[in-house]
Structure 1
Amino acid sequence: MTKTVIIGAGAMGLAAAHYALKLGHEVDVIEADAVPGGMAAHFDFDGLSIERFYHFVCKPDRPTFALMEDLGIGDKMRWRDTSMAYFKGGKLHKWGDPISLLTSSLLNPVEKFRYGLQMFLTSKRRSFDDLENRTAKAWIEGGAGRSVYDKLWRPLMDLKFYQYADDVSAAWIATRVRRIGNSRKSLFQEELGYIEGGSETLVKALVDSIERQGGRIHLKTPAERIETEDGRVTGVRAGGKLFPAQAVISTVPTPFVSSIAPDLPEPSKRAYEAIRNIGVICVVHKLKRRVSPHFWVNIVEPGIEIPGIIEFSNLRPMPDTVVYVPYYMPTDHPKWSWSDEQLADESFGYIRRINPQITEADRLASKVGRLRYAQPLCEPGFAAKIPPVRTPIEGLQIADTCFYYPEDRGVSEGARLAKEMARAIGTDHQPRREPEFA
């Protein structure tokens, strides 16, 4: 048994605690927020319990399914036919299947062939190591063509990454394409998943498992410092209290690492500080009327300064229409300082441009959420920038969502990495046969 402290009660931190307890370790989880779950946490949206930030499940997300089975909630997984579209020229263009591609007016015949071939081949690839040092722009232009990039990709990249748009990893983009491309029930039908009751169902099951196994979760307890002695962790100071520990797992965003782990060697701290992030402001609207029949709408329309909308109620059935409008941006962008009301009004105006039949009377409620470190900037060669999970300080492991690379953020990769970190507890950086889970 190793006395373990886990910093962060997001999905990865909670899953790490669950797996560590199964292996017989003693676990305390500390969390700055008043509720567990991190980006998967719910809030009360005018009487509806829903995620702060949208989540969906794809068929390749096997670690999610394994975790749910382990928690006894495997029967809560639900699948639904979904679709996506582009909004351009004042109208919606269905997208994402061969018929939509062939009949679309967005591309000419040569562009359709090149785009379709590149996306199909990407969905079948096992590895993207050869793309590690290429930009997404160069990869897409080399496959589908520059005109396709300019028409379908450039507006989205510009409105998510701004000044960094031309320096995004091709491996990261291709992995996202493969994940969505393989979440289908046929060549002609996309199928995405959700957990019955929302991600809160998973969070509650993790919390229940942790507490049932004797673990402790300390909310409103921000981490202040990881304590060390002779090059090994001895505990975590959090909320004015010392939590003694022989092992520590930190899952907080890498920008916080240098301040809470000041005893790390300077090269290690510089490595964490070199990982850049952008923020997200996510506006959620509850409406009387449906916006579109699609789950996801990419927007490439001049004058609309968002990359798309997610009509979540077209995935998870709800009494009213629920739409997420994400504003990804560097936190020095002027809109980051806008009021919630400004953002809600502007985003609702964009929704009305997509569906002019919607009026102000159709808006039931709006809510704005902000996350300063939401999306790591994964440039070409990013894999070499990621520090090892096991740090030079014995007993200390550090990981956040950028460690999922080339996969994107999500519960599945968090669950996979959580299990790996739990297995490494107590090994003191020495090779040892991995323990087996019951």
Structure 2
Amino acid sequence: MRIAIVGAGIAGLSAAYDLAGQGYAVTIYEAGDQVGGLASGFRDAAWDWPLERFYHHIFTTDHAIIELTNDIGMRDRLFFRAPVTAQWWRGRGYALDGVLPVLRFPGLPFIDRLRFGLTAFYLKFITQNWQRLEQTTAMAWTERVSGRNVARVIWRPLLEGKFGPHADEVNMAWLWARLRARSFQLGYFRGGFQAFADELCAACVRRGVQVWRQTPVKSVCQTATGWQISAAQHPPADYDAVLVTGAPGLLARLVTTLPAEYLGQLRRLNSMGAVVMTIALRRPLTNGIYWLNLPKDEFPFLALVEHTNFIEPDYYGGDHLIYCGDYLDPNHEYFRLDASALLERFLPALRRINPAFQPEWVRAYWLHRETYAQPIVPVNHSRNIPPIATPLPGLFWASMSQVYPWDRGTNYAVELGRRAARVMHEFAGQYQQTVPSGY
């Protein structure tokens, strides 16, 4: 069987690695000039390591990506640390990355700190019934269990920061999964996540996978015997099966023969986009904080991530690197403003975080945007998610919308890609039974 994969993100590469290992002839089409998808990086001339366009790390509980890291012989380049994560409250950041920091947090009375800690403990270590949790919203559940004060100070800012005007739609299973999968130690690769993506791609190539970069796919058309892909700078090519990775809108655009009912299901999968500005500073901004959650009603972005409080600035030419990131509706003005205009919006916030900050600290800045970055997960969302196999035989789809109830990320991209490979392998077994002898 000949298999085509559209997209060389982590899911597409993971699927290709397993499919090629099972003996299939796999070709990957990638529109960009490098692999990695949302985990891909960029590099300034002064840096030794590339940096992710969108901030990335993994957790000690991310078994899928750790297993794949072992499979491709890269385990010695993965390491874990425990950087400080904090919540902004009344003019400063307070760490909330452990039992004692939570108990010391002055934003809540002591009894509410206990309720917050017990709720988080229950969600992380006790309950496993996420199907029941998805039947109610996260705000309703946390108000009932943690109390209104805890929900207002802790849970609502988290949900509003992530989902903006959709915060009250999000179901409790998403919040459960977010807490369940987190660890205080965070993982990173020597050379960044681009190094991981490049090594995974190289492992695919060693198994015989063809990878066409800078080759956007124009259409995926069903034929009498399978599927045909038309792509830039390449003649149309025929395949027995196709896996499309990416947004629901991409699948709908590439395959115009999808049934109307299935198209309707795709269109009901709403998502937020991501806008992230990376700024190289000549001095550190925070006092050792890696991740600082910010209230959306006070700041022009959701998170301040000082990457070089996690990874030494030595790898980046001495730059102190910060991310100013936000999840926004794709029609938000941040998707239209140019980088310099957006920087002007963000600079006053940096001075508020550190009153000593001056614009002269900025050496360089970069702006990255993606309109499909965070699926919105309403009540009973599991009913909305299409399976990997589409209604059209031989056509498969894998996207971050299908990792639910887990949150999107590289670990679940690996899990999804390997799951897609298993589904396609099952299809291949049925396909081989229908192929005439000597075909």
Could you state the TM-score of these two structures normalised by the residue count of structure 2? 0.92
Aligned-pair distance for 1:207?
1.7
Cα distance in 2 for partners of 1:302, 1:266 equals: 40
Work out whether residues 17 and 422 of structure 1, in 8 Å CA contact, stay in contact via their aligned partners in 2: yes
Across the two proteins, how many residue pairs are aligned to each other? 422
- Is the aligned partner of 1:148 residue 2:145? no
> What corresponds to 1:259 in structure 2?
253
In the alignment, what sits opposite 1:67? 68
Q: Which range moved further: 368-377 or 343-352?
A: 343-352
> Match of 1:311?
306
Q: Could you list the per-position Cα deviations for residues 308-351 of structure 1 after superposition, in whole angstroms to 9, with x for gaps in the alignment?
A: 21111222222232111112111222333222112123223212
Which residue identity does 2:231 align to in structure 1?
A
The counterpart of 2:177, out of the listed 171, 175, 178, is 175
Distance 2:235 2:214 in 1: 12
Residues 312/213 of structure 1: CA separation in 2 closer, same or farther (3 Å cut): same
* CA positional deviation for 1:152: 2.2
Of all paired residues, the percent bearing the same amino acid is 27
Opposite residue 386 of structure 2, the aligned amino acid is P
Q: What is the correspondence of 1:350-369 to structure 2 with a 5 Å cutoff?
A: 350-369=349-368
CA–CA separation in structure 2 for the residues paired with 1:261 and 1:387: 16
In structure 2, C-alpha distance between the alignment counterparts of 1:243 and 1:119, rounded to whole Å: 51
Higher mean C-alpha displacement, 160-169 vs 364-373: 160-169
SS of 2:284's equivalent in the other structure is: coil
What is the alpha-carbon distance in structure 1 between the residues aligned to residue 142 and residue 67 of structure 2? Answer: 34
Distance in 1, matches of 2:326 and 2:45, equals 22
* 1:199 maps to 2:193: yes
1:26–1:215: 8 Å Cα contact kept in structure 2? yes
Aligned position for 1:87: 88
Q: Which amino acid aligns with 1:203?
A: A
Q: 1:120 to 1:52 in 2, by over 3 A?
A: same
Q: CA deviation at 1:430?
A: 6.9
**2:250 counterpart letter in structure 1:** F
SS at match of 1:295: strand
- Cα distance in 2 between the residues matched to 1:197 and 1:161: 31
Q: Structure 2: which 5+ runs fail to align?
A: 432-439
For structure 1, the residue ranges without an aligned partner over 5 or more in a row are 184-189, 433-438
Q: How far apart, CA to CA, are the structure 2 residues paired with 1:431 and 1:143?
A: 49
CA contact (8 A) 1:193 1:315 kept: no
> Shift of residue 220 of structure 1?
1.8
**In the aligned structure 2, how far is the partner of 1:343 from the partner of 1:255?**
27
Counterparts of 1:64 and 1:348, CA distance in 2: 36
Equivalent in 113, 135, 138 of residue 137 of structure 2: 135
How far 1:64 sits from its partner (Å)? Answer: 0.6
Preserved CA contact (<8 Å) 2:398 2:420: no
Equivalent in the alignment of 2:229: 236
The alignment yields a C-alpha RMSD, in angstroms, of 1.8
For residues 19 and 210 of structure 1, the distance between their equivalents in structure 2, rounded to whole angstroms, comes to 9
How far 1:352 sits from its partner (Å)? 1.9
- Look up the match of 1:246: 240
Cα 1:302–1:259 shift into 2, 3 Å: closer
Q: Structure 2: how far apart are the matches of 1:233 and 1:141?
A: 52
Which position in structure 2 is the counterpart of 1:299?
294
2: distance between equivalents of 1:72 and 1:47? 29
Which residue of structure 2 lines up, in the alignment, with residue 384 of structure 1? 383
Distance in 1 (alpha carbons) for counterparts of 2:261 and 2:207: 38
Matches within 5 A, 1:81-120: 81-120=82-121
Output one character per residue of 1:251-279: Cα deviation in whole Å (capped at 9) or x when no partner: 02112211211122111111111111111
Alpha carbons of structure 1 residues 145 and 233: separation in structure 2 relative to 1, 3 Å = farther
Contact 2:276 2:369 (8 Å CA) reproduced: yes
**What is the distance in 2 between the residues matched to 1:102 and 1:431?**
57
The C-alpha deviation readout for 1:278-297, integer Å capped at 9, x for no partner, is 11110111112222212211
Taking the aligned partners of 1:245 and 1:328, their CA distance within structure 2 comes to 37
TM-superposed CA distance for 1:307, in Å, is 2.0
**Gap change, CA 1:391 and 1:302, over 3 Å in 2:** closer
Residue 220 in structure 1 maps to residue 222 in structure 2: no
Q: 1:233 to 1:276 in 2, by over 3 A?
A: farther
Alpha-carbon displacement from aligned partner over 1:64-91 (angstroms, at most 9, x marks no partner): 1111111110111111122211112111
User: Do 1:226 and 1:261's aligned partners in 2 also have CA atoms closer than 8 Å?
Assistant: yes
Residues 344 and 368, structure 1, Cα contact 8 Å, conserved in 2: no
Structure 1 length-normalised TM = 0.92
Measured in 2, the distance between the counterparts of 1:278 and 1:237 equals 29
Distance 2:235 2:148 in 1: 57
| Matched residue, 1:407 | 406
Matched residue type, 2:4: V
Give the 3-state SS of the residue equivalent to 1:425 in structure 2.
helix
| Alpha-carbon offset, residue 159 of structure 1 | 3.7
